[in-house]
Chains A and B, each alone.
Chain A
Amino acid sequence: MKCVIEGNGVKVFGKAVHALSRIGNEIWLDPQEKGLAVRTVNSSQSAYACFCFTPLFFQQYIPDPDIQNGCEAVKCMLNMKCVLPLFRCASWKERRVDRCEISVNIPNSRVIFQFHCRHGITKTYNLGYQECEALQAVFPAHLCPNVLMAQSKLLGDIVVHFPVSQEEVTLSISSFKVTLKTFCEEENNCIKGMNTELMLHPDEFDYFQVGEDSAVTFCLKELRGLLSFAEPYGLPVNCQFGVAGQPVSFTVKDMTLEAHVVLSTLTDPNHESPSQPAPGDDCPVNVTNTSTAEITTCESLWRQRKMIQLHAPGEILPKLSLIPESALTTPVTPATSKIRSLLFGAVYSDGGKDKTADLPSLACASDTEDDGGTEE
């Protein structure tokens, strides 16, 4: 893979890396035909972010100069701590950097970042990478009953009322209003801190669709990265979500890039889906060979954070009816280098993935035992 980003674009790319660094500790580079996808996931797999830069973004973009039939471009996983300093001091770099070349040296397992700066200075960074499958969050956007679109400035004005340290917030929607408020796990804990609630009228949003009244609780901290990216460019932000427990997605789109953040939300203990063991069961945990993402305890107030469903492109995912309800995602390890998951009743569909059907089947990670789906 080789790509060249000119001056201003370097600043944008740097800001994207900053936004990603707010979420995860690793960064995945996934060169595709439609653009370079840069992704990250947090350690508990409750937050996922992806910036996809289209070929238009680059001065030059070659996904894989040595592409052979049936072989796709190599995907690299880098340590965020190594990449972030390259793009620090964005404004300073912007004045000095003419262009940045990113290329992958496969024999040496290195990603090379080369900054061509003013005064003829060239800075070259060789970062070691691990090859692995790319991740992609399963987010059935078409199944989301609730959609909000707003200018990033509006969202910035909304989140400014919440302290930067505030972790979780609850976004509620009904036909009359949209509310964002601080979330406390237990009522007693609220005595320590302040509770803040912001109420807006649907008219404030550029687009407002409420299919189902709901309240979703997610981590605000992880969203701030995307908002600080979008605000200087005045980009509108699209927010899609369903009921408590289903992930919420935030998307920012432009001609040259698309940024996508998916956050898991807390389940509502009062509305457990029938498939899960009801609270009050004697056996608190259904321990199988694989760890379950959902562990219900006997305390009915326990709220769980569902892990985001992630899958590697190239799998044809089984349809709704065939999937048993046991859930799992195996944690990412360098050894497995692949994340497998089962769906909870939604089929992932992505119109743009023409290539995936053609790819050879990929072996299952051997530690996923409850794989009820069929694979091509």
Chain B
Amino acid sequence: MKTDFCEILQKLNSNNGSMLCVVTMCRAVPINDLIYRASQQSDKLHALSTMLTQELVCTYRVHACHTSSLQTPTDKEQALQVSESDLLSLARSLLQAWSDPLVVLSSSTNVLPYSAQSTLSKTIQKMQEHSKDLKDGLDILSSKMGPAAQTITSLPFIETNEIGQDKITKLLSCFRRDSHKIDSFLKVLRCRAANMQPQMC
């Protein structure tokens, strides 16, 4: 396990040239498994949000999300050029930005018709759980990957004066995209780390 960890770090260092000094000793759980687990969580998170959005949002609309200010890659070339630490940082920032809005979302279900309320409530609850797990995992992962990974961009959530229905729709749409971003970043990170395990990619 120690060898895996060291090899990954060497690879990470070589890819982006950043100094990822790892001074800490090897943990029991190797990075590969952590990343894999994180990507699984983000995948689930996004799937939930997609399901929810497709049920409650009739049409796709563009909304200005509170996380739009965060600069994220817009195409593949850009995305593949992002370092592992930045990828992790972006993921963690986005995740962090949605911890409060999810709470707001769960409390706004009363505006919806009763039939949709239960679905929304359950799903939002699940999403919060996954989000929590993912956050914890990413925290551990970031601690192994150096100080650059620890950076979290603050994306405060400011409630706007939107009508309940619209608010939910907007929130759901935004969360869908952001969860997709998180999932994408982590999966790219996963393939970067799975040098010895190509079956993960």
Our verdict on whether A and B bind, yes or no, reads: no
